[in-house]
Chain A
Amino acid sequence: MKISRNWLQSYVNLEGRSNDEISRAITFLGFEVESIHLTGAPKLDAVFVGEVLTRNRHPNADKLSVCTVDVGPVHGVKTIVCGAQNYRVGDRVPVALAGAVLPGNFTIKQSKIRGEMSDGMMCSGKELGIGEDHSGLLILDHRPALGLPINEVLPPGDAVFDIEITPNRPDCLSHLGIARELAAWFRVPLNYPEVMIERTAPSRDADRHDLLRHVRVEAPDDCPLYLARVIAGVKIGPSPAWLQERLSSVGLRPINNVVDVGNFVMLEYGQPLHAFDARKLSGPEIVVRRAVEGESIVTLDGKTRALSSQTLVIADAVKPVVVAGVMGGENSGVDASTTDLVLEAAYFRRQSIRATSKRMALSSDSSYRYERGVDPHALPEAARRAVNLILQTAGGQLVGPQFSVGGDVPWQREILLSPDFVNERLGFAVPAADMKAALESLELTVAREEEGASGVVWTVEIPSWRDDLDRPIDLVEEILRLHGTERIPASPVIAPGLPENDDPVVDYNRRALAYLVGHDFHECVNYTLRSAREAAVTVDSSTVEKLALSNPFVEDQSHLRASLIGGLLESLRLNQSRGLSVTRLAESGRVFLEREGRLLECVAVAFLMAESVSERSWLNREPADFFGAKHHAHSLAALAGLDLARFTRPVVGGECRQWQEGHAGVAGDLGQGWRASFGLLSVAAVKSLGVSGRVYAGEVILLPEKVGAERTHRRYKPFGLFPAALRDLAVVVDESLPSEEARRALVKAARAVIGPAFAIERVAVFDVYRGEGLPPGKKSLAFSLVFRAEDRTLTDEEVNRVFQALQESLIAATGYGIRK
């Protein structure tokens, strides 16, 4: 909201206070000052009113003139070279003489211009710092006296504060509201405008009584109070200079005296008012009602707007003439021909106006105020103020009675406040007298003071414009505002220890990222919202639908992500396209997966390892491969306490959308609360996203509620100090048999034959062989076996016995061959 300093001055004396001081006060009262705009003429020395006596062409320049100018009796007649074209001999204009400093620090000197001496400069509006008009000299049409200092002729300077009013303070959407706050801050009186009680005798002109006979409110819920007055015989014309100046100062274009008064009073009191042409009404009747489906209105902005049955309108007997609280209709607008007015002042329910404004996508100064709430109790006063000003500026006289429909909206609010409570909440002591002074400076009157069981209790009366104040804590804020938030004393943080740990999800993320960064990955952050195209690469089409937002803002951010890998590929693509060699990227964040038709919000950590496509190196390392990806996925799962090795299976079917079949694995299941995928990304999918080269990746997905809820300390298990016995065993199995299955069969057989005597400590594949010496369709898996007893050194004999027995048992159980 734009607030003019000169305008404020009408209600609160700010003389002697700098703009910065006022800005600071507004800031610490709780309103952000977005800008201060200086308008009007700055203080200008050595600039006077002059009159052009002669004008001759400059001998050396076609576009310049050499003029003689009378600058009054003190300065006499001067010679001035001028480039402007818009003036005539006899015009009075501003003349800057030697020594003048114009805005922009432009100093005027006596100087030669193209060989002709010039004593100064005749000025445009822009050169004087008033407005942007630079098309020619500022012609002083009202012919002020020669030699007058120009500041006596030009509008005075003003400072306009652009202030952000918080939604809880609709009372400050007005000059009076801000003036009240400043008066409280500076502890100076607030001067309300003088409103004369109108004493104009009702006219006896019967015809004029007929201008308005009835006001009917058919929607009292949305319009609890409606006032209307008729003013007859007005003469529409331009507003007086003072009124135009007020409106212009805050960026409103003056229109005519009646419209300007309406705007002025709205900006003064915060109460929207509306005047319309009484003679344009069809019949002497006003109805406040909801529109009928199918009705429409052309609003004052020239647009035709369809009305719905929820729209509150002001109508005559036939048609809507105003969209209530939002904008008037062209069919009833005040124009040059208007002689008789209806002036409306109403209280509309904020929800109703907000709904209409939203539905019509039409916001106005009026709707903005209604939406935030106006003070119904200021309404009659604002209406009287407007009537006064209209009679003053447009003439005419009040006719007929004041129409007032709807009850006085009841208002009485008191808050019980104890000064001790204020100090308790603040954490520092403010003297009770200061508190009381602060409240009363805001017209929050301490009506009674009682000694209660727990100390003094005040009864504070809340004025009607402060609907935001309802509870003692609200008054704590008022007291603190006026006391000054900059005076809150410094102190140390007092922090009694609480036995809380970081959320396990946070803890997991932190450790997972530390792992990845420790392995040379660059952590990325990508948008959660992805394109439909990317989603389709990740999940099947029914899931893509479930990931869609109902109201995306841009097309390529329309879906929740089901995987972090899409974002990482995008980062990879961006770096590749910028010629940057990047191989390892990682991210942690939320992803959304479908299970049994419902979405799950999951925690995810992902990484990718790409071939370096652009950078050559003096020494080549082995490129990334499947087992590198598996290793990192394994480690990331292990950080969440999960053993990926136990559950790994190849990706098949739908899972292959993102992964390359035969080159990727998956472990776990969302039903168990986790899933890990790793391996080579689908070469086709990666290419379709614009990334070149093979990309290996891994992603571990966890349900947040399943991430290590309780952290307990591990229990130590003793380990054998006697030497181990080692044996190697190669089994011949079907090509398609997963090695892990063979390994488990081996472990199982070994455990069975060893019994409790000692332990098989480790079984690990150390060789995979295909080809010569093996039947087609078979492979050989060579395992190393480690046996150990906790209490003794194993003898060759007993190990051999077990080794032999386990081979027999394995063959019997599985039919594997043994490769000698």
Chain B
Amino acid sequence: MEQQLSALQQKAQAELAVIRTRPELEAAKARFVGPNGELTALMKQMGTVPKELRPAMGKQINETKVRVQAEIDAALARVAEAEVAAQVGPAIDVTLPAPDPGPGTFHPLTQVREEMCRILRKVGFAVADGPEVETEYYCFDALNTPADHPARDAQDTFYLPPEADLANVSKRSAGERYLLRTHTSSVQIRTMLKGPPPIRIVSPGRVYRRDTTDATHSANFHQLECLYVDRNVTVRDLKALLDYIFTSLLGKDTKTRFRPHYFGYTEPSFEVDLSARHLPKVNKEWIEIGGCGMVDPVVFDGVGYDSKIWTGYAFGMGLERLAMLLYGIDDIRYFYQNDLRFLRQFA
């Protein structure tokens, strides 16, 4: 019996060591420890063992059983490991590049626009939108642009032919011509005509000037304008907004200054300069960044707001110019070429 046990143990050890698959393992398990297995058969012979030898023999059988079970467990672990290895395949060179394109990138103009909108959203400006094909009323008349102002010339502004007819851009009068808006200020007029103050909007968008395209000019560019109309809006509030915008954008040591200027739709009017550290390719202390002013009472009268009650400010700037300053881009045309080497830099 003793010899049988030791032979069984050796046999189990030898057979289990070469098992690689789960069915082989199950078969082996049945052969040794199953109800009809060899060990079970030996245990059944216990009855024939003399009574005084039984404790020692029982101990021996148990030890054998533990050893065989350990061999089975080890074989199971090997099988499980082999299964996973087959499932996952050979090890991967993790330094190989992913073959998919990407990552995707937002255009730098979008990034600058969204950053400005986020900054303005925090102080209560909602983003407004309007058509790019406009009429003379919304682009010029309502903004106090005299009838013979040069900005209206066909030399400076793109017009649609007189017979042009846009179903979803309304005209104020039949004689008006359609044009490509020269500034996003037309959105201010449409917003004011839509409802009463208070109003606080930012209107980013495309604008058009009949201009030669070169490193700093583009017939098609983007602006961003703010309009705030409420009671008791002051010059000081306007300055506070500009300070807020540019310190938010460029850091606390950024400064802005106003220079008196002239625009038909604001009074007083200012040009805005900013001074900031760490702007690439800027070698002047002050850089002109936009125009602003207090909304001219004539504009309020035109949209039916009582200029004795309502006051407001407006601010506008070019997005390309801002992006060029922020990123140190020296040619406006790059924004419109979409060269991947350009786009990827702003991901």
Binds A, one of B29-37, B65-73, B337-345: B337-345
Binds A, one of B19-27, B80-88, B238-246, B277-285: B238-246
Asked if A523 and B107 sit within 8 Å, CB to CB, the answer is yes
- A30, A355, A575, A596: which contacts B339 (Cβ < 8 A)? A575
Asked if A524 and B338 sit within 8 Å, CB to CB, the answer is yes
Asked if B200 and A521 sit within 8 Å, CB to CB, the answer is no
Cβ of A28 within 8 Å of any chain B Cβ, yes or no, is yes
Cβ of B124 within 8 Å of any chain A Cβ, yes or no, is yes
For the complex, give the distance between the alpha carbons of A424 and B234 in Å: 7
Chain A residues near B168 (CB, 8 Å)? Answer: 600-601, 703-705
For the complex, give the distance between the alpha carbons of A584 and B338 in Å: 12
Given known A-B contacts A29-B260, A490-B239, A571-B337, A524 and B166 have beta carbons under 8 A apart: no
Chain B residues near A523 (CB, 8 Å)? Answer: 104-107, 110, 343
For the complex, give the distance between the alpha carbons of A553 and B158 in Å: 8
Chain A residues near B213 (CB, 8 Å)? Answer: 554
The residues in A between 138 and 164 inclusive whose CB is less than 8 angstroms from any CB of B are: none
Chain B residues near A618 (CB, 8 Å)? Answer: 96-97, 99
Look across to chain B and name the residue whose beta carbon is closest to the beta carbon of A706.
B168
Asked if A425 and B311 sit within 8 Å, CB to CB, the answer is yes
Chain B residues near A492 (CB, 8 Å)? Answer: 240, 244
Chain A residues near B101 (CB, 8 Å)? Answer: 520, 582-584, 612
Given known A-B contacts A485-B259, A526-B336, A598-B166, A503 and B129 have beta carbons under 8 A apart: yes
For the complex, give the distance between the alpha carbons of A491 and B237 in Å: 7
Asked if B123 and A495 sit within 8 Å, CB to CB, the answer is yes
Cβ of A211 within 8 Å of any chain B Cβ, yes or no, is no
With both chains docked as a complex, state the minimum distance between the C-beta of B39 and any C-beta of chain A, in angstroms. 44
Cβ of A619 within 8 Å of any chain B Cβ, yes or no, is yes
For the complex, give the distance between the alpha carbons of A721 and B108 in Å: 48
For the complex, give the distance between the alpha carbons of A519 and B105 in Å: 10
Look across to chain A and name the residue whose beta carbon is closest to the beta carbon of B211.
A553
Cβ of B164 within 8 Å of any chain A Cβ, yes or no, is yes
Asked if B257 and A485 sit within 8 Å, CB to CB, the answer is yes
Chain B residues near A480 (CB, 8 Å)? Answer: 235, 260, 268
Chain B residues near A521 (CB, 8 Å)? Answer: 104
For the complex, give the distance between the alpha carbons of A130 and B262 in Å: 37
Cβ of B46 within 8 Å of any chain A Cβ, yes or no, is no
For the complex, give the distance between the alpha carbons of A524 and B124 in Å: 29
Given known A-B contacts A351-B148, A589-B206, A617-B99, A550 and B159 have beta carbons under 8 A apart: yes
Cβ of A309 within 8 Å of any chain B Cβ, yes or no, is no
Chain B residues near A574 (CB, 8 Å)? Answer: 337-339
For the complex, give the distance between the alpha carbons of A176 and B234 in Å: 33
Cβ of A712 within 8 Å of any chain B Cβ, yes or no, is no
What size tier do the contact residues of chain B reach?
Answer: 35 or more
With both chains docked as a complex, state the minimum distance between the C-beta of B124 and any C-beta of chain A, in angstroms. 4
Asked if B234 and A425 sit within 8 Å, CB to CB, the answer is yes
- B124, B235, B262: which contacts A30 (Cβ < 8 A)? B262
Asked if A575 and B109 sit within 8 Å, CB to CB, the answer is no
Given known A-B contacts A480-B268, A485-B259, A549-B160, A524 and B154 have beta carbons under 8 A apart: no
Cβ of B208 within 8 Å of any chain A Cβ, yes or no, is yes
Given known A-B contacts A525-B107, A599-B166, A520 and B339 have beta carbons under 8 A apart: no
- B126, B260, B297: which contacts A502 (Cβ < 8 A)? B126
Chain B residues near A187 (CB, 8 Å)? Answer: none
Chain B residues near A548 (CB, 8 Å)? Answer: 161
For the complex, give the distance between the alpha carbons of A599 and B164 in Å: 8
Chain A residues near B243 (CB, 8 Å)? Answer: 490
Give the total of A residues in contact with B, Cβ under 8 Å. Answer: 99
Cβ of B216 within 8 Å of any chain A Cβ, yes or no, is no
Chain A residues near B159 (CB, 8 Å)? Answer: 549-551
Chain B residues near A29 (CB, 8 Å)? Answer: 260
The residues in B between 190 and 231 inclusive whose CB is less than 8 angstroms from any CB of A are: 198-201, 206, 208, 210-213, 219-220, 230
- A27, A528, A585: which contacts B208 (Cβ < 8 A)? A528
The digit string for B110-123, where 1 denotes a CB below 8 A from any CB of A, is 10001001000101
Asked if B338 and A571 sit within 8 Å, CB to CB, the answer is yes
Chain B residues near A592 (CB, 8 Å)? Answer: 133
Asked if A496 and B198 sit within 8 Å, CB to CB, the answer is yes
Chain B residues near A358 (CB, 8 Å)? Answer: 153
For the complex, give the distance between the alpha carbons of A704 and B167 in Å: 12
Asked if A488 and B236 sit within 8 Å, CB to CB, the answer is yes
The residues in B between 283 and 321 inclusive whose CB is less than 8 angstroms from any CB of A are: 294, 296-297, 311
With both chains docked as a complex, state the minimum distance between the C-beta of A803 and any C-beta of chain B, in angstroms. 37
- A489, A498, A600: which contacts B126 (Cβ < 8 A)? A498
Asked if A425 and B167 sit within 8 Å, CB to CB, the answer is no
With both chains docked as a complex, state the minimum distance between the C-beta of B101 and any C-beta of chain A, in angstroms. 5
Chain B residues near A300 (CB, 8 Å)? Answer: none
For the complex, give the distance between the alpha carbons of A28 and B296 in Å: 21
For the complex, give the distance between the alpha carbons of A596 and B168 in Å: 13
The digit string for B143-172, where 1 denotes a CB below 8 A from any CB of A, is 000001000011000111110111111000
For the complex, give the distance between the alpha carbons of A618 and B340 in Å: 21
For the complex, give the distance between the alpha carbons of A518 and B105 in Å: 8
Binds B, one of A469-477, A764-772, A778-786: A469-477
Binds B, one of A166-174, A190-198, A225-233, A638-646: A166-174
Asked if B259 and A528 sit within 8 Å, CB to CB, the answer is no
Chain A residues near B271 (CB, 8 Å)? Answer: 32
With both chains docked as a complex, state the minimum distance between the C-beta of A690 and any C-beta of chain B, in angstroms. 15
Chain A residues near B167 (CB, 8 Å)? Answer: 595-596, 598-600
- A354, A486, A495: which contacts B200 (Cβ < 8 A)? A495
Given known A-B contacts A491-B240, A618-B96, A528 and B206 have beta carbons under 8 A apart: yes
Chain B residues near A580 (CB, 8 Å)? Answer: 339-341
Chain A residues near B97 (CB, 8 Å)? Answer: 618
Asked if A522 and B339 sit within 8 Å, CB to CB, the answer is no
Cβ of A500 within 8 Å of any chain B Cβ, yes or no, is yes
Which of B162, B180, B235, B294 has the most chain A CB atoms closer than 10 A to its own CB?
B235
With both chains docked as a complex, state the minimum distance between the C-beta of B84 and any C-beta of chain A, in angstroms. 23
Chain A residues near B244 (CB, 8 Å)? Answer: 492-493
Which of B101, B131, B341 has the most chain A CB atoms closer than 10 A to its own CB?
B101
Cβ of A337 within 8 Å of any chain B Cβ, yes or no, is no
With both chains docked as a complex, state the minimum distance between the C-beta of B250 and any C-beta of chain A, in angstroms. 16
Given known A-B contacts A525-B336, A595-B167, A473 and B259 have beta carbons under 8 A apart: no
- B198, B262, B296: which contacts A498 (Cβ < 8 A)? B198
With both chains docked as a complex, state the minimum distance between the C-beta of B215 and any C-beta of chain A, in angstroms. 16
Chain B residues near A426 (CB, 8 Å)? Answer: 234-236
For the complex, give the distance between the alpha carbons of A578 and B298 in Å: 53
Cβ of A341 within 8 Å of any chain B Cβ, yes or no, is no
Cβ of B103 within 8 Å of any chain A Cβ, yes or no, is yes
With both chains docked as a complex, state the minimum distance between the C-beta of A442 and any C-beta of chain B, in angstroms. 13
Cβ of A481 within 8 Å of any chain B Cβ, yes or no, is yes
Asked if A550 and B200 sit within 8 Å, CB to CB, the answer is no
- B99, B220, B343: which contacts A529 (Cβ < 8 A)? B220
Which of B158, B162, B236, B260 has the most chain A CB atoms closer than 10 A to its own CB?
B260
The residues in A between 419 and 463 inclusive whose CB is less than 8 angstroms from any CB of B are: 424-428
Asked if A506 and B259 sit within 8 Å, CB to CB, the answer is no
Asked if A621 and B268 sit within 8 Å, CB to CB, the answer is no
Cβ of A513 within 8 Å of any chain B Cβ, yes or no, is yes
Which of A167, A491, A495, A589 has the most chain B CB atoms closer than 10 A to its own CB?
A495
Asked if B100 and A513 sit within 8 Å, CB to CB, the answer is no
Cβ of A208 within 8 Å of any chain B Cβ, yes or no, is no
Chain A residues near B206 (CB, 8 Å)? Answer: 528, 589-590
Chain B residues near A497 (CB, 8 Å)? Answer: 124
* Closest 5 pairs (CB-CB, A-B): A427-B234, A427-B236, A520-B102, A30-B260, A477-B268
A-B contact pairs, 24 of them (CB 8 A): A426-B235, A426-B236, A471-B267, A491-B236, A493-B237, A497-B124, A498-B124, A502-B117, A506-B128, A520-B104, A522-B105, A524-B107, A526-B338, A527-B336, A529-B220, A549-B161, A554-B213, A580-B340, A583-B101, A599-B166, A601-B166, A617-B99, A618-B97, A621-B99
Given contacts A500-B201, A528-B208, 14 further A-B contacts (CB under 8 A): A166-B261, A473-B267, A473-B268, A477-B260, A485-B257, A488-B236, A494-B240, A498-B199, A506-B129, A522-B338, A551-B158, A578-B339, A580-B341, A590-B206
